Amino acid sequence: MNNGKIIFKPGVWITINCYSGYVSINSKTQCQRDRTWKPECRYASCHVPSLNNGFYTDTNNSNRISTDQPFGTTIQPVCSWTDYAPSPHTARTCQESGTWSGSDPTCIPQITCSSLPLIDNGHYSAGSLNSPYLLNQEIALICDDGYYLFGSWENRKCTSKDTWNEINHMCLRISCTAPNMIEHGSYNGSQLSYDYGSIVVLTCDRGYFLSNVADTTRKCEGKNLWSGRDPQCQRITCSRPISFNNGRYNDTHLSYDYGSVLTPICIKGFNI
């Protein structure tokens, strides 16, 4: 203590507290060898942030601001395009910390579409729940079960106030043309086309059997798309019967078609 003053030795650090509206580059300063201090309090300022598709002005919207602004300055976000508005639309003030109050805004379209046009046998993607729709926002069209999209694949787009782009597609009923004709067999239906979900059953002609039982029943599952595979009806055959004692059959082929008849013949001195 010297005449009421505190004496600091070189190398000692002390904390800097700047007046309101000023900030220090470093929070502390050190006593130098020449027993001097080098504290620095600068006037607080904020760098003007960038704004996509927009800029900042003074609160009267009369002057565009692009350079650093001093503590306490208030600026207003403005969008470059008349169809866009900043969100949030709030003024921002330069704070002592050198940062702006509030959050960074975004320029968003003011033009919106309030509702989607109706589509027969179809609906829109989950994005259709986010009404109102912004300018140029696209919504995908999805056909109901049993229907397919015919025509252009272009999405619905909000093109102007409550106006959607014209599209040339529609949801048509899924159908299947009749299954391929099966040799020695037929399906239970005789239609030229079948609706989505229709089921047909194959029956082989007498004397024939289905090579794959799993394909007996077939279902229309898509546009001209049947479940399973084209089945085959094969001829029923029998191998040669087992021989028997003291006799033979009247024919000696290795196999016989369905409906063939063999007659047993006993050798002389034996009866059936």
Work out whether strand 217-222 and strand 237-239 pair parallel, antiparallel, or are unpaired.
Answer: unpaired
Helix, strand or coil, per DSSP, at residue 200: strand
106-139 burial, b if ≥16 CB within 10 A, otherwise e?
bbebebebeebeebeebebeeebeeeebebebeb
**Residue ranges of the domains in the chain?**
13-43, 46-109, 113-173, 175-235, 239-266
Average of pLDDT values for 208-236?
A: 88
Q: Say how far apart CA 210 and CA 186 lie, in whole Å.
A: 11
CA angle 73–78–83, rounded 5-degree value: 170
Query: For the segment 194-213, what is each residue's pLDDT rounded down to a tens digit?
Result: 999 999 999 999 999 988 77
Helix, strand or coil, per DSSP, at residue 225: strand
CATH no., domain 113-173: 2.10.70.10
One fold for both 46-109 and 113-173? yes
Of all residues in the chain, what percent carry a pLDDT higher than 70? 94
Query: For the segment 117-172, what is each residue's pLDDT rounded down to a tens digit?
Result: 888 999 888 666 677 888 888 888 889 999 988 887 678 888 888 888 888 788 99
- pTM of this prediction? 0.49
Q: Say how far apart CA 116 and CA 169 lie, in whole Å.
A: 15
What is residue 1's predicted lDDT score, i.e. its pLDDT? 43
Give 105's pLDDT tier (boundaries 50, 70, 90). very high
Fold classification of 46-109 is Complement Module; domain 1 (2.10.70)
Matching CATH number, 175-235, of 2.30.130.10, 1.10.3480.10, 2.10.70.10, 1.20.140.10: 2.10.70.10
